[in-house]
Structure 1
Amino acid sequence: MNSHLSMFIFLITLLTISSFSSSQPSYKDHCSSIITESTPKNLIIHNSFPLGGYFTGGSGIIHDETSFIEYSSFYLSNIQIHETINTDLFKVESTVSFRTKPNTVYYNVSSFSYGDKPSYRSQRHFRSNYVTFKLEGFWSKSSGKVCMVGTGISYSETGDSLDHDAVLKLNNVFDSSNITSFISGSLESLNSEKGDEKNHYFETISLMMFSKANYSYSLDSKEVENEFSFESEVSEKKGLSLNPYSSSFCSLPLSRALKRLQLEYTHECNSPKNCSPVVSDQLPYMMSLKGAECSHTDKHRLKVLMVFSNKSDYWIEKGFNPKTMLIGEGWWDEKKNALHVVACHFIGIMKSSWDGTRIGDCSVRLRLSLPSVWSIENTNNIVGKIWSNKTANDPNYFKMITFRIFDDARVGYRASKYEYSKLEKVKKSCPTHKVVENKGRTIFPNVYSYDMRFGMSVRDIESNIEVAFGSLAPLSVGEQIYDDPAYTSNSNFTAESPMVMFNNASLFNISYKITIFSNATLYNRNSMFNLSSYRVTISAEGIYDARTGTLCMIGCRNLNSKAGTPLAGSVDCEILLKFQFPSLDTTNGSHIKGSIESMREKSDHLYFKSLEVSSYGIYSETAIKAVWRMDMEIIMVLISTSLSCVFIALQLYHVKRNPNALPLISISMMSILTLGHMIPLVLNFEATLAQDLYNKNFVVGYVGWLEVNEISVRIITMVAFLLQFLLLQVTWSSRKTNECENRLWIAERKATYVTFPLYAAGLLISLLLKLKRDDFHYDTSWEKMKSYGGLVLDGFLLPQVILNLFSNMNENVLSCSFYFGTTFVRLLPHAYDLYRAHNFARLSDGSYFYANPNSDFYSNTWDIVIHLGGILFAVIIYLQQRFGAQCVLPQRFKGSKYEKVSVVAESEA
């Protein structure tokens, strides 16, 4: 039995090995004509073999709409290289992975007609992000050829696993390389395109790789260096060497910034002809420099890729497209503090293959520098130029292109000095304001503080419509570059005192960089964005007066051509900017106000309509005080709501001891108070479902504390609502069991006839006053109703006063603790608002949790009026319950006009 089982296992193993062996493609059949086989010996480490590159093709296994314009990448891993008995040959084993889009399972929905009714059906598709081949073969060092065979696995569009036989062929794989070294090759399917194996066949994949072998720099000759010597405007001062950033072209942080370089063309360039260094249907808008190889022996040398992109796709990270790329060698010139690059074109590009592609025509020059001195004309960390060394008659010639960093990326470097050139113009356009001496001292932001930078909202003055938003960031104070907190950990300046004007320690020279983005469609002739697309960058310099908080500057904005491409050296410096900083101790609002105006005539094509500016943020000191105020307000909400529960409970205890008083309590008053506790619960529940924390996220880290206290407030508010509802219920029930039920309901109805028109008239008057007061800010109807509802709650005793008159009661209907205590709770927010108005700056609605001052009935006037009204109602109730309901009426209104309603129970009659 055991012998039969052993024989069976042996046969199965033999068949499996035989099947596996027969499935492997034969190296002899497919590669021996290229490289002969040799017997392998020792496993070695070889650093010259390429590790990956780019590919195109592969239809049948790569389910991706990969076109020639967007190349995907492939990688060689698990590389093992063995010596052979032939010193020129090496055996190579490797895994080759082709990367496409991520693993996805999606459904392609198509429609078809069934009679007159359209129907739909879906088909399941599967995409794999890797197609992997396991290959082995030989490499000849002398010829630079590689030939490998093996098998791979992929997935069909329906998710089925497919096996593939393939042969990999590479050319120009040598131990050394230079700028012209270019490894090309292919991966070909060994399966038949016809027959049963059709699903295993795939289209030939064309490969391209840059050599990783010992690289020899050859383009930085003395003749080439002379072509960069005409640049005389760059400072020759030392100290701006890239140390310790000398190798950072191939690493962060500088490489991140080099991906966003904006190109600027001359006025003659409206099309790519004689203006673009690469093949393109339109002028490239952006360029990025990618370090392809950095020298390990010379820290100032690198191989670099210059990648150009159009305006429509510069945000998209593309693959490899040689038509829009140049490859070159660069070196850092320490004397001129500049990067010099000699770049070459990809030549012989075919439609769908790398065969015949080579590198040549090294006629492009690039110069990149990090300016040591900034001015209003140049406030960029990185600037440069691109040009051709060919003559204007050559078809590959193009006009010089300048470039600069697109935005303020953190490149780890800033200039060391700022030079002013517009201060005389600033003096003429911005007269110095005289400071009015007074007993108090008004303090404005320190010129070195973080409060000098802010985000802003921009409105058109004529239409009063918000048309843009942006930010202002200081560049320098005096000649000293501003110590930006984005670059350093300190928010205050630590450098020497800057130069000041007029020998006055309160007047400072200051420069700014301003970025404005359009959020409107007002691209008319008089719009600031008429020649600057959706984004305007303004460099400005002027004077900040620390005594008055005024900032006045002259600015220069960069301009584009009619085609929308940036123009080299084209700026509009006829811009006047004025800003008023509020004092640090202001209580009337801490938002910075200002204007941006064109100093040109209206007939000038560069003229634009005046804009009004308002800052988004607040001072850091104001924010600290606001956090303390918000904490205090949350505590006050908790205390007020808790007191309401206590006063309602005391009223319930009062009516339990005095049941005869229950029928005389105003149903309208109880309903108003009940709704006053119920509506906040409903609104809080709605806010919980919406999870809208936008307005609550006032200070980082504050939302968690706020949510904890919101839960406490909701619980206490729920208790207050239940107690108030219980009081309403027992009041309503007492009317049904009382013998004077009809007379009391008649009195209640008469009181309603008086109070309801008063409420309606008050609402109408408040709406009319609000519409007259608000010019451009419109609240929703719900906001208006909430504000007026708060006023009705403040005067909650009005229905009880009117009911007392009609019922002519003389009972202690309400306990003193209830009507005086509830009045105190309702008036406390208005007393707090009076205190807050004189001690805190007024901010946005989202920062207020108690007595929102932006509501209609929170102001100095209304706070006093509501206080007087609330106290008056409480005093009237006190007098009515002590001396009779009609004691507050004149003598001639007393008597038979109001009939006293008996409240004696039937059992006591």
Structure 2
Amino acid sequence: MDCSIFSTSSKLLIFCTSLLFIIFFMCLNVDSVTAAESDYGLHCDPVVHESKLADEEFNISPFPGRQNGYYSGGDNVLNRSSDGYYYGPASKVLVFETHHVYKTNAEDVFKVEGNLIFETSYYYERSFSNGRGYYHSYSSDSSSRGALEFDLHGFWSRTTGKLCMVGSGYTYSKEGNVLHLAAVLKFNNVKSSSDINTLITGTMDSLNPADRPNYFEPISVLMFPQGSYKYTKVAKQFSQGCPGGTDVPKKSSLSLSRTITVCDMFYRQTAFELEYASGCDSSKSCSPFGDGIGYLPRFMHLRTIQCSDEKLSLRFLIEFQDDAYTRYYASSNFSTSLIGEGSWDAKQNRLCIIACRIEDASSSSLEKSHVGDCTTRLSVRFPAILSIRNTSTVVGEIWSDKHKNQSGFFNRIMFRNTDNNRGQFQLQGLKYEYVETDKVNKSCPKKSSNRHSTEEHLDGYSQDMAFSMSIKYQKRSIGWGSSNPLAVGDQPQQRFPLLIPSSSSRPKSAGVESIASGSLLNISYKMRIELNNLKLDHGLNSFNQSSNGYLEIRISAEGVYDAETGHLCMVGCRHLRSLNGSTDCDILVNVHFPPLDSDRKGSKIKGSIESTRVKTDHLHFETLEFSGRAYYGSRAMESVWRMDFEMIMSVISNTLAIVFVVLQIFHVRRLPAVCPSVSFLMLVILALGHLMPLVLNLEAMFNQDSERTVWARSGTWLEMNEVVIRAVTMVAFLMHFRLLMLSWTARCSEGKNKPLWIAEKRGLYVCLPVYIAGGLITGTTRQHSSYYIEQTILGGSRAYAGLILDAFLFPQIIFNMFLNSREPALSRFFYIGITLVRMVPHGYDLYRVHNYVDMNDSYIYADPTADYYSTAWDIIIPMLGLFFAAIIYFQQRLGGRCFLPKRFRESATYDKLPIDSEEQSPLKSSP
């Protein structure tokens, strides 16, 4: 009997026994968790007594379908700060989903089933759902967000407002093991109706022992209820508008329309910059929070919680912070937050908000949070007219409803929206008023233009008038910035995201009429600049406004643009934050846009920002020069066409490579004796040359490349062609690999193959040092990138690999030289065809450089990262390829050493034998 049978049976028995033990312990674990989470009476009976379930499902829920809130604690299972992918403060947001609510035999006691999801995402957005006034957070995949979800069930007492639930969830330990969590959740103030004073607070506690790895610290919860909310504060003062607010003429503010409501205007988080009264150097009488936080917040954020059904009233979480970039995460610092409700005042075209403090909400616990002082008032309006001194589309003020000598009083604070608010609706009727016309006429004289010039420039209404810029001071790079048009002439359409220019906004003066005539066009800009504080003179940083070593400068400018010369001249106003919204309007900005066809040659937008103050003035600063890349829309469309053309060229190139290698396969099948005479090193290089693009772009075959520009990803055409390119490349690789296997099989089957292996070995000894030396030489001469060292090395290695592939015939030449063979190992179609395939990209690169705009990450064919492409290399490489092809031609006719001196040619002679049979050796050595 075969012993292997017993061996197999024993292995099977051990496997089955192990599997049974694993299932048994898993069942024990599940049973223990189920027992813990189903023991409602032990954990929740003192809060809400368990009642017998009735069959009828209740149609009134203590929460809407999704109720958002905040949490604190539970860091050992919720804290993701140790992850290397996240930077900045963590979001501490939760979502409670109510699935079912059932009646019970007890009066006003209901069974509730739902989920509690702790979001740890750093990208948090709110949106309205079906206009019903509640918001929710969303993201693509909860696993990537690090969300922790609990399935819960329990009972709610409508009389006491208490809700107690038990349930379970799971997460992963740092070692990657699954941790089953069991918890009890307790809520207070869960009422059928609510107002501004109602806060839902509670705790979630672990049901696992403290010494177990699945134990977590207590979590405190705070939610702003949204079920049957009553606007009690604004309802009392709605008819009075905003008592205590600054009176502004109604015509100075834009009104809402039937199609755009106040809910639409604030459906996203809105950030505002605060402007304190002069002399506010302490927070005691200037901050809504007094000395409690120890600093003056710079920014305020309005986060919409809920909008009423009539869409006239809203609820806000009003957060005061020192950072404007908080729209991508939700904080839970309620010590600097207010809860408010607002209503639209149609009489004065403004939003009136009554705000309350949130007391006893610490970072360690939210359980004791409650609504306190409600004497803070806010007014928000949308200016009807913008100018160089007021470029904000949303402005407002904050004040205290207390007397000046009362505790908690603070001075009036003005605020205006920042440039970070995008995607909001634009109200009709917004106008721009040019107020610096006289100064523009004096500072910007019209330059004479060459009437015979055929150059064309942007027409002024193009979106290409917006540009990014690199700032230089005394020929040193000190920062960067962006410039975006705010208003352009009398263009009636909304061409820019911030403003709809109007013809009525043009001042009625002779000066303006002359400016608007001919090729000159009125234009207004908003410029934002970030400068390195260490490299600035005193005039730019007179008030020491920098943070983290960088100074932000914002300039609003207006002037004229000459479409004939591409010259833009503007008078600018610099915002001085430390002087209560004051501005420095003694600034001159000059910009020169290159012609429309110049960006093919790499032309740039150039300009300067200079102060017109005397040098002794403390606000005077030295001239700043800037430049920016001219990416014109027309050229971008040409680049899209170029990309399509390069895809076609790439497919044709790889298809021709397949044809030529197939012809080589037919060649070695027709002449089997020549197959061993093909260099292995050459075939390996060719095969790897088609394999490496597949490996480097494997992920891109299935995932969309988010790094490409948006215009290049407007449809599926690009992705489809990329798949075709990779499919053809795969076929080319398989054909080259097949040729390699044929050569290997033929050489291994030869009886007298020692001269072939010796020649291959000697060729390898020659080629490897040459490749290494070439890599070192090109690596030292190649310009180093400013990117990370790893990326630089990878990019240089890939380009050098392309150079080796261009010289693919070099190993065959060395192999023929050591073998001194005249065998026609390579078909003419193969070595000449592949050489031409490698030459064409360099010829195309010479054409592309002079005819297409340079767009990063948009090259499909002749990719500069995959080979050496420059004017010099585009000439050297094709000449080298033709030279190698010529050597192969003469070697296969005259011998492998035909190009060597005569004394080196005959160190060994080879007699050619008839090749009637594959059994015969093709070569015979003789002394």
* Category of TM-score, reference length = shorter chain: 0.5 to 0.7
Q: Which residue of 1 aligns with 2:909?
A: 902
Counterpart CA distance in 1 for 2:907 and 2:95 is: 96
Counterpart contact for 1:651–1:818, Cα < 8 Å: yes
Letter in 2 for 1:622: R
Counterpart CA distance in 1 for 2:182 and 2:893 is: 93
After TM superposition, the structure 1 = structure 2 runs for residues 689-728 of structure 1, keeping only pairs within 5 Å, are 693-695=705-707, 698-702=712-716, 704-726=719-741
Q: 1:709 to 1:153 in 2, by over 3 A?
A: closer
Shift in Å, 1:404: 0.9
Counterpart CA distance in 2 for 1:660 and 1:400 is: 96
Name the stretch that deviates more: 279-288 or 204-213: 204-213
Counterpart contact for 1:306–1:326, Cα < 8 Å: yes
Matched, 1:93 2:108: yes
Q: 1:799 to 1:736 in 2, by over 3 A?
A: farther
Q: Which residue of 1 aligns with 2:433?
A: 419
Matched, 1:547 2:572: no
Letter in 2 for 1:791: L
Counterpart contact for 2:168–2:183, Cα < 8 Å: yes
Q: Which residue of 2 aligns with 1:791?
A: 803
**2:698 counterpart (688, 695, 705):** 688
After TM superposition, the structure 1 = structure 2 runs for residues 727-746 of structure 1, keeping only pairs within 5 Å, are 729=744, 737=752, 745=759
Q: Deviations over 1:141-194 (max 9, x none)?
A: xxxxxxx59995556999778799x99999xx99xx9x9x96799999xxxxxx
Q: 1:897 to 1:508 in 2, by over 3 A?
A: same
Q: Which residue of 2 aligns with 1:817?
A: 829
Partner SS state of residue 713, structure 2: coil
Counterpart contact for 1:579–1:592, Cα < 8 Å: no
After TM superposition, the structure 1 = structure 2 runs for residues 482-881 of structure 1, keeping only pairs within 5 Å, are 483-484=494-495, 502=515, 504-515=517-528, 531=545, 533=547, 536-561=553-578, 568-573=580-585, 577-586=589-598, 588=600, 593-594=605-606, 597=609, 599=611, 604=618, 607=621, 610=624, 612-615=626-629, 618-655=631-668, 657=670, 667=679, 671-688=681-698, 693-695=705-707, 698-702=712-716, 704-726=719-741, 729=744, 737=752, 745=759, 749=762, 766-771=778-783, 780-797=792-809, 812=824, 814-844=826-856, 846-853=857-864, 857-878=868-889, 881=892
Counterpart contact for 2:238–2:345, Cα < 8 Å: no
Counterpart CA distance in 1 for 2:528 and 2:409 is: 35
Counterpart CA distance in 2 for 1:739 and 1:320 is: 79
Counterpart CA distance in 2 for 1:418 and 1:727 is: 76
Q: 1:219 to 1:713 in 2, by over 3 A?
A: same
Counterpart contact for 1:473–1:514, Cα < 8 Å: yes
Q: Deviations over 1:290-311 (max 9, x none)?
A: 78998999x97x5866834232
Letter in 1 for 2:413: I
Counterpart contact for 1:453–1:474, Cα < 8 Å: yes
Name the stretch that deviates more: 418-427 or 402-411: 418-427
Counterpart CA distance in 2 for 1:54 and 1:326 is: 15
Counterpart CA distance in 2 for 1:645 and 1:396 is: 81
TM-score (norm 2): 0.65
After TM superposition, the structure 1 = structure 2 runs for residues 147-158 of structure 1, keeping only pairs within 5 Å, are 152-154=164-166
Counterpart CA distance in 2 for 1:161 and 1:660 is: 78
Q: Which residue of 2 aligns with 1:122?
A: none
Counterpart CA distance in 2 for 1:97 and 1:787 is: 63
Q: Which residue of 2 aligns with 1:372?
A: 384
Counterpart CA distance in 2 for 1:736 and 1:396 is: 101
Q: Which residue of 2 aligns with 1:241?
A: 255
Q: Deviations over 1:253-295 (max 9, x none)?
A: 33535x4333211241122211123444232444456789989
Q: 1:227 to 1:695 in 2, by over 3 A?
A: closer
Q: Which residue of 2 aligns with 1:102?
A: 117
Q: Which residue of 1 aligns with 2:89?
A: none
Counterpart contact for 2:165–2:184, Cα < 8 Å: yes
Counterpart CA distance in 2 for 1:848 and 1:839 is: 14
Q: Which residue of 2 aligns with 1:252?
A: 264
Counterpart contact for 1:809–1:901, Cα < 8 Å: no
Q: Deviations over 1:338-367 (max 9, x none)?
A: 34567788999999999998767x5x5544
Counterpart CA distance in 1 for 2:308 and 2:794 is: 68
Identity across aligned pairs (percent)? Answer: 28
Counterpart contact for 1:326–1:345, Cα < 8 Å: yes
Counterpart contact for 1:207–1:354, Cα < 8 Å: no
Counterpart contact for 1:648–1:723, Cα < 8 Å: no
Shift in Å, 1:624: 2.9
Counterpart CA distance in 2 for 1:573 and 1:24 is: 70
Counterpart contact for 2:397–2:415, Cα < 8 Å: yes
After TM superposition, the structure 1 = structure 2 runs for residues 178-197 of structure 1, keeping only pairs within 5 Å, are none
Letter in 2 for 1:842: D
Shift in Å, 1:707: 4.2
Q: 1:268 to 1:731 in 2, by over 3 A?
A: farther
Counterpart CA distance in 1 for 2:163 and 2:785 is: 76
Counterpart CA distance in 1 for 2:755 and 2:659 is: 31
Letter in 1 for 2:874: D
Letter in 2 for 1:712: A
Partner SS state of residue 910, structure 2: coil
TM-score (norm 1): 0.66
Shift in Å, 1:828: 1.6
**2:488 counterpart (474, 477, 496):** 477
Counterpart contact for 1:387–1:400, Cα < 8 Å: yes
Counterpart CA distance in 2 for 1:417 and 1:875 is: 72
Counterpart CA distance in 1 for 2:661 and 2:221 is: 83
Q: Which residue of 1 aligns with 2:283?
A: 272
Partner SS state of residue 268, structure 2: helix
Q: What 5-or-longer segments of structure 2 have no aligned partner?
A: 1-40, 49-58, 80-91, 121-147, 170-179, 204-217, 507-511, 915-923
Q: 1:277 to 1:788 in 2, by over 3 A?
A: closer
Counterpart contact for 1:671–1:728, Cα < 8 Å: no
Structure with higher Rg: it is 1
Letter in 2 for 1:631: D
Counterpart CA distance in 2 for 1:235 and 1:51 is: 40
Partner SS state of residue 905, structure 2: coil
Shift in Å, 1:678: 0.9
Q: 1:431 to 1:785 in 2, by over 3 A?
A: farther
Counterpart CA distance in 2 for 1:861 and 1:500 is: 54
Counterpart contact for 2:300–2:318, Cα < 8 Å: yes
Q: 1:95 to 1:715 in 2, by over 3 A?
A: same
Counterpart contact for 2:654–2:729, Cα < 8 Å: no
Counterpart contact for 1:550–1:579, Cα < 8 Å: yes
Counterpart contact for 2:151–2:168, Cα < 8 Å: no
Shift in Å, 1:369: 2.2
Q: Deviations over 1:413-455 (max 9, x none)?
A: 246221224455556666655544667x33333422333335x
Counterpart contact for 1:583–1:590, Cα < 8 Å: no
Letter in 1 for 2:251: E
Partner SS state of residue 510, structure 1: strand
Counterpart contact for 1:633–1:849, Cα < 8 Å: yes
**1:451 counterpart (464, 469, 480):** 464
Counterpart CA distance in 1 for 2:150 and 2:893 is: 88
Q: Deviations over 1:484-520 (max 9, x none)?
A: 46589xxx999899888645543322222344568x8
Partner SS state of residue 252, structure 1: helix
